[in-house]
Amino acid sequence: MTDKAILHVGAVALVTGASAGIGRAVAVALSARGARVICAARRRDRLEALVGELPGPALALELDIADGEAVDGLVARLPEDWRRIDILINNAGHDLGGRQPYHQRAAADVAAVIQTNVTGMMRTTLAILPAMRARGRGHIVTIGSVNGVEWVANHSVYVGSKFAVHGFTNSLRQELQGTGVRLTEVMPGLVRSEFAAARWGGDEARAAEFYGRFDSALSPEDVADAVLYALDTPPHVNICDLVLRPA
Ligand SMILES: NC(=O)c1ccc[n+]([C@@H]2O[C@H](COP(=O)([O-])OP(=O)(O)OC[C@H]3O[C@@H](n4cnc5c(N)ncnc54)[C@H](OP(=O)(O)O)[C@@H]3O)[C@@H](O)[C@H]2O)c1
């Protein structure tokens, strides 16, 4: 055991979905604080560019969290001195197809949202948690959503996925009580990121029109600030849920 803060110079952090938006902002913030950051996502070119920009040691990890075998074996594929992960940021997620009545949805989109937002997040946690528990130390921050506690029409798949994140996170947190592993869920409202474009196959014009309908939005850096706030609390404090909305 050590009484070092979980976010210390040299701490190893794995960030899923680090190639864009919130995950990228969290990777930048962690690196600025001296963490060694494993930047995971599907787009390797983006990850390599990010690793080149970060001020500290970082690693690009091409990973599709919907690919169960790749997730299960992720720690074994890391160089040996990167395997002791102190901090896991479960951030990767998407909303393919966007808001539309459920009966009109493509079955493949439904499956892909659940495979990433729910199964991928749970399986990534399963790949990392046993070693954290064995060491009696670690902090997992999962990016949920306000849609994990409130629903809207025509958004059933994403809402369902984030309710699952919220239920899983709360149940697991109770189970981790007293183990030295902390679990925080950060639940943002609207964030201006690549999320909307990703909904519609990269359609930037449609994404700009969508964000234009709202008076304000959070930035990925706002969410990264909340993540760091949770990580910076002393070991006897567990920030359970952090809900952020645009003012
Ligand atoms: N934007 C919002 O309004 C909002 C609000 C509340 C919560 N959130 C949540 O915040 C998280 C991040 O979203 P964001 O706004 O930052 O969106 P974003 O800009 O589109 O970034 C999403 C990230 O997830 C990665 N990703 C998607 N599917 C993946 C997969 N199967 N395996 C690995 N990586 C994957 C993407 O990278 P690759 O494409 O390179 O794999 C990308 O890096 C998500 O969980 C989202 O549900 C977003």
Q: Is the CB of 148 under 6 A from ligand 1?
A: no
Tokens 């690793």 found at: 51
φ, ψ (nearest 5 deg) of residue 160: -60, -40
**CA 156 from centre of chain:** 20
Going by alpha carbons, the residue nearest to atom 47 of ligand 1 is 93
Going by alpha carbons, the residue nearest to atom 29 of ligand 1 is 92
Predicted pLDDT at 209: 95
pTM summary value: 0.98
pLDDT of residue 52 exceeding 90: yes
Predicted pLDDT at 2: 62
Q: Is the CB of 16 under 6 A from ligand 1?
A: yes
The three-class DSSP label of residue 138 is strand
Each residue's pLDDT tens digit, 191-220: 999 999 999 999 999 999 999 999 999 999
Q: Does domain 12-189+219-237 have CATH number 3.40.50.720?
A: yes
What are the boundaries of each domain within the chain? 12-189+219-237
CA–CA separation, 192 and 201 (whole Å):
17
pLDDT of residue 1 exceeding 70: no
**Burial degree of 178 (CB within 10 A; 0-12, 13-18, 19+):** exposed
CA–CA separation, 154 and 38 (whole Å):
35
Q: What is the mean pLDDT of residues 58-73?
A: 98
Tokens 């896991």 found at: 88
Angle at 96 between CA 91 and CA 99, to 5 degrees: 110
Amino acid making up residue 242: L
Q: How many residues does the structure list for the chain?
A: 247
Going by alpha carbons, the residue nearest to atom 36 of ligand 1 is 17
Q: Is the CB of 188 under 6 A from ligand 1?
A: yes
- The pick from 42, 113, 223 for probing ligand 1's pocket by mutation, whose C-beta has the most ligand atoms within 8 angstroms, reads 42
Each residue's pLDDT tens digit, 106-158: 999 999 999 999 999 999 999 999 999 999 999 999 999 999 999 999 999 99
Tokens 């046993």 found at: 130
Q: Please say if 102 is a catalytic residue.
A: no
Predicted pLDDT at 4: 83
Amino acid making up residue 188: P
Structure tokens at 137: 């130390």
